[in-house]
Amino acid sequence: MKLRHLVRKELIEIVRQKELLFLLFVSPIIQIVILGYVVSSDIRNVPVGIVNLSRGQTAARVIERVRRSPLFSVRRESERSEDYAHYLKKGEVKAVLVFRDALDRKRNVLKYPEVQVLMDGIDSNTAMIAAGYFNGIIRDTILADMEKSGRGLPVAGRPVFRFNPQLRSINTMGPGIVAFLLTIITMFITSASMVREKEQQTLDTLLMSPLNSLEIYLGKALPAALIGLVDMAIGLVVVVLWFGIPFRGSLFHLLLAALVYLAAILSYALLISVLSASTQQSMFFAWFSLILFLLMSGFFTPVSNIPQPLSFLAAINPMRYLVQIIREIFLKGNGIAYFWKDLLALGAIAVTLVSISLLNFKRFISR
Amino acid sequence: MSHPAPAIAVRDLRKDFGVFQAVRGVSFDVARGEIVGFLGPNGAGKTTTIKMITGLLKITSGTVRVDGLDNRTQLVQVKRKLGYMSQKFSLYPLLTARENIEFFGGISGLSPRERARHQARMEELVPAAVLRQKVQDIPPGLRQKVAMFVCLMPDPGIVLLDEPTSGVDPEARRVFWNDIYGLKKLGKTLLVSTHNLDEAEYCDRILIIHNGELVAAGAPDELLRQRRKASIEELFKDAIEEHGQD
């Protein structure tokens, strides 16, 4: 079988490049570990300033809870109202809590203190999450007071978080990182493969051989797919063992989704490779595409946040479906019955990309 | 009495790249068992013509027949008859010479036994230590030898060599031309492009191409006699100047 020789040749070329080997098999581990810690929407040690103008015990109890929380680090405390604006402006803190006593004028007694939560909105994500936590601390303090005095709320919603009870963002990010790895590795290997043949002038010899265009196409795609799957396996082991992310679904389903995805992404990368005039150009295209795929995949932010006029880009983004499917398999343990629509959409994109790419490949070869 | 078709028959061959005309109506034959030198300066249209004969480049107009087969409609059969070595010897630099032989033999459909026979034959021509080296690390002369060997493995009847002696030392060039004669004795037809005019003396016939047009064609001695020139270099200048005046 002639194809076997082409696949073997591609693998030898990869193995002979030590730097590339490192990038393919060691850097993914480094990437996962770093991304796992860095790409997190969890907040920790947010620097906080407190301006306490209240003389009541309630404010002191809220402040104590804020101090004990691992989410916040109290950096500044003051009893002067003019200080809060200064703290935020200088960037010493990301949030300032201002406590003031409020007077019940009818009964001339102090009510619960008024709490003003001032946030630095530049880092909007942290600001939103931190504001939510502050409100939680204040609400819990009031509820604890009410329970002590024998009063309770008539209705209290107690959320139960399933599939990710501790709301760890790594649980959401980890499966996405596996999809990211599969994309970056296969995209970069494949997008340069045909251009390299052109640049080292081996393409002509290849085209003069009895290999047909489909064999050359597969000969370029299969080694990258194999390496992609190995990297995905490395990624799985790291996210499960290192980060303790539960894998509740079926490995077979994951492999199935990965294979459909690989058909799509490898076709896209081969399309880049035949359309590019140089390796540099192909790398640029690959990088540009990767960023678009990533931003519109739901990896960082929900796909529903994408504005309507751009939503069609997300709809044709294969990575979006893989990220969704991997999360379903990982965290919910869902099978095809739950994610068949995503798999179908991914399959349709794969068929379209394979067709376009193969047509261009044939045209390129018979130029 | 019917004459056998020439090994290569090129008629009014043209290639345009946009507004640039790289080859302008070239016609020639290469008879079976002949060594034909394709001479011309860099950019004259030698590589473009050879690539059109192989089918690697689409023809703008004109025809190419290889062993009587039209290379537009019967390209798969045409490729089986041709061996082609490109300017840069077309070997994979990260593979060893042995791996290159194994690879090209494999994709050419040679059986494991045939590939083993070729490996053994190659070891007679090139030291085994060299064959174990990556191609990027072996000298150009030996690289050319390996590339030539790879090109001949499927046993093509017609061999097209594009600038096979560029970048190799004089001794390697001499050895190369000896090998070419060896191939002629085996009945192969050879079209060899070069810009080294002194190599014309090795050829049965030469074709001189300039600015995409054929400006002279014939046996070297015959051309020298016709044009009353003492050397191929003078002949070459004369043909180009004459063409420039037309």
Here the CATH number for the domain that contains residue A142 is 3.40.190.10
C-alpha distance from A233 to closest chain B C-alpha (Å) = 28
Cβ of B58 within 8 Å of Cβ of A209? The answer is no
- As given in the structure block, the two tokens for residue A288 are 């540009």
Please indicate whether, in this complex, the C-beta atoms of B58 and A208 are within 8 angstroms of each other.
no
Domain assignment present for residue A153? The answer is no
Predicted pLDDT at A163? 87
- Does the beta-carbon distance from B107 to A6 stay under 8 Å? yes
Which residues, at least 6 apart from A358, have a Cβ–Cβ distance to it below 8 Å? A213, A214, A217, A267
* Predicted complex: ipTM over 0.90: no
Strand ranges in B67-225 using DSSP code E only, listed in sequence order: 69-70, 82-85, 158-162, 189-194, 205-210, 213-218
Hey, are the CB atoms on A205 and B90 less than 8 Å from each other?
yes
- Residue A182 resides in a domain: yes
Residue B1 belongs to a domain:
no
A206 vs B108: CB contact, 8 Å cut-off?
no
- Amino acid at site B157: G
Structure tokens at A16: 């002979």
Check whether residue A19 and residue A114 sit in a common domain. Answer: no
Contacts of A152 (CB under 8 A, 6+ apart): A146
In the DSSP assignment, the letter for residue A280 is H
pLDDT greater than 60 at residue A317 = yes
Residue A109, beta-bridge partner list = A104
Contact A9 B93 (CB under 8 A): no
- At B241 the pLDDT is 82
Region B70-77: what's the mean pLDDT?
92
Do A272 and A326 lie in a common domain? yes
Q: What pLDDT was estimated at residue A367? A: 60
Over 60: is that where the pLDDT of B200 sits? Answer: yes
In a domain, B173, yes or no: yes
Confidence class of residue B246 from pLDDT cuts 50, 70 and 90? Answer: low
* Pair A325, A218 in one domain: yes
Number of domains within chain B: 1
pLDDT at position A107, please? 64
Residue B37 phi, psi dihedral angles, 5° rounding: -90, 130
Containing B27, the helix (H) or strand (E) segment is strand B20-30
Is residue A163 in a domain?
A: no
Give the Cα separation of A361 and A367 in Å (integer). 10
A184 and A290 co-located in one domain:
yes
Residue A108 pLDDT: 62
Higher-pLDDT residue of B15 and A42 is B15
Contacts of B87 in chain A (CB under 8 A): 201
- Nearest Cβ partner of A367 from B58, B86, B150? B58
Coil vs helix vs strand at B35? strand
Helices (H), chain A: 2-15, 18-25, 27-38, 57-68, 83-90, 124-148, 169-191, 193-199, 203-208, 213-241, 251-275, 279-295, 311-315, 318-327, 336-365
User: Does residue B201 sit within a domain?
Assistant: yes
Q: Could you tell me if A273 and A193 are in contact, meaning their C-beta atoms sit under 8 angstroms apart?
A: yes
Claim to verify: residue A88 and residue A222 sit in the same structural domain? no
Are A224 and A331 within one domain? yes
Minimum Cα–Cα distance from B150: chain A residue = A205
Rounded to a whole number, what is the largest CA-CA distance in chain A? 98
Same structural domain, A181 and A232: yes
φ, ψ of residue A128 to 5 degrees: the values are -65, -45
pLDDT of A102 reads 72
Size of interface A-B (CB pairs under 8 A): 68
pLDDT at residue A319 in the model: 96
CB contact under 8 A, B106 and A4: yes
Residue in B68, B73, B29, B23 with CA at minimum distance from that of residue B48: B23
Q: From the list B58, B88, B107, which residue is nearest A209 (CB)? A: B107
What does the pLDDT average to over B174-183? Answer: 89
More confident call, B245 vs B8 = B8
Please choose, from the candidates A276, A259, A269, A288, the residue with its C-alpha nearest in 3D space to the C-alpha of residue A189.
A269
A 194-253: CB under 8 A from B: 200-202, 204-211
The verdict on residue A162 lying in a domain is: no
Question: What pLDDT, on the 0 to 100 scale, is given for residue A105?
Answer: 62
State the sign of the Cα–Cα–Cα–Cα dihedral B47, B50, B56, B58.
Answer: positive
Say whether A208 and B104 touch across the interface (CB within 8 A).
no
Task: Work out the angle between the directed axes of helices A279-295 and A318-327 (0-180°, nearest 10).
Answer: 50
Identity at A202, one-letter amino acid code? T
Query: d(Cα A62, Cα A52) in Å, to the nearest integer?
Result: 11
For residue B245, pLDDT over 70 is answered with no
Say if the Cβ atoms of B92 and A200 lie within 8 Å. Answer: yes
Residues in Cβ contact with A127 at an 8 Å cutoff, skipping those fewer than 6 apart: A94, A95, A119, A120, A121
Q: A residues 1-30 near B, CB within 8 Å?
A: 2, 4-6, 8-9, 12-13, 16-17
Q: Is residue A157 part of a domain?
A: no
Mean pLDDT calculated for residue range A262-282: 94
Share the mean pLDDT of chain A.
88
| Digit-coded pLDDT (tens) for A34-47 | 888 877 777 888 99
Minimal Cα distance from A208: which residue of B?
B79
Q: Please indicate, yes or no, whether residues A131 and A191 belong to a single structural domain of this protein.
A: no
Residues A288 and A173 in one domain: yes
Q: Each residue of B225-236: pLDDT tens digit?
A: 988 888 888 888
Do residues A235 and A343 share a domain? yes
What is the domain extent for residue B91? 8-245
Q: Are residues A69 and A105 in the same domain?
A: yes
* Domain count for chain A: 2
Same domain for A225 and A340?
Answer: yes
CB contact under 8 A, B90 and A6: no
Give me the residue from A2, A200, A201 closest to B107, CB to CB. Answer: A2
Q: Which residues are CB-contacts of A79 (< 8 A; sequence separation ≥ 6)?
A: A51, A52, A53
- Among chain B, residues having any CB pair with chain A shorter than 8 Å are 51, 54, 56-58, 76, 79-80, 82, 84, 86-88, 90-95, 99, 102-104, 106-109, 134, 150-151
Which residue, A115, A148, A181, sits at the end of a domain?
Answer: A148
- The C-alpha of B156 sits at a distance from chain A's nearest C-alpha, in angstroms, of 12
Asked if the structure places residue B147 within a domain, the reply is: yes
Report yes or no on B110 lying in a domain: yes
Determine the distance in angstroms separating the CA of B220 from the nearest CA of chain A, rounded to an integer. Answer: 31
Say if A192 is an interface residue toward chain B (CB within 8 Å): no
Please tell me which of the candidates B51, B92, B102 has its beta carbon nearest to residue A202: B92
pLDDT at residue A344 above 60? Answer: yes
Indicate the burial class of B113 (C-beta count within 10 angstroms; 0-12, 13-18, 19 or more): exposed
- A214-269 pLDDT, tens digit each: 999 999 999 999 999 999 999 999 999 999 998 999 999 999 999 999 999 999 99
Domain assignment of residue A83, given as a range: 46-148
Contact A13, B96 (CB under 8 A): no
Chain centroid offset of residue A126 CA: 16
Which CATH number do you get for residue B150?
3.40.50.300
Best-predicted range by mean pLDDT among A54-63, A147-156, A331-340? Answer: A331-340
Render pLDDT for A94-126 as a digit per residue (tens, 0 to 9). Answer: 999 998 887 666 666 656 678 888 888 888 888
Q: Do residue B107 and residue A206 have CB atoms under 8 angstroms apart?
A: yes
Q: What pLDDT shows up at residue B110?
A: 92
The verdict on residue B2 lying in a domain is no
- Chain B partners of A217 at a C-beta cutoff of 8 Å? none
Q: What is the pLDDT of residue B5?
A: 82
* CA dihedral of A362, A213, B22, B160, whole degrees rounded to 10: -170
Structure token digits, residue A169: 């963002």
Query: Cβ B86–A201 below 8 Å, yes or no?
Result: yes
Of the residues B78, B88, B92, B114, the best mutation for testing chain A's interface (the one with the most A CB atoms within 10 Å of its CB) is: B92
CB contact under 8 Å between A17 and B94, yes or no, is yes
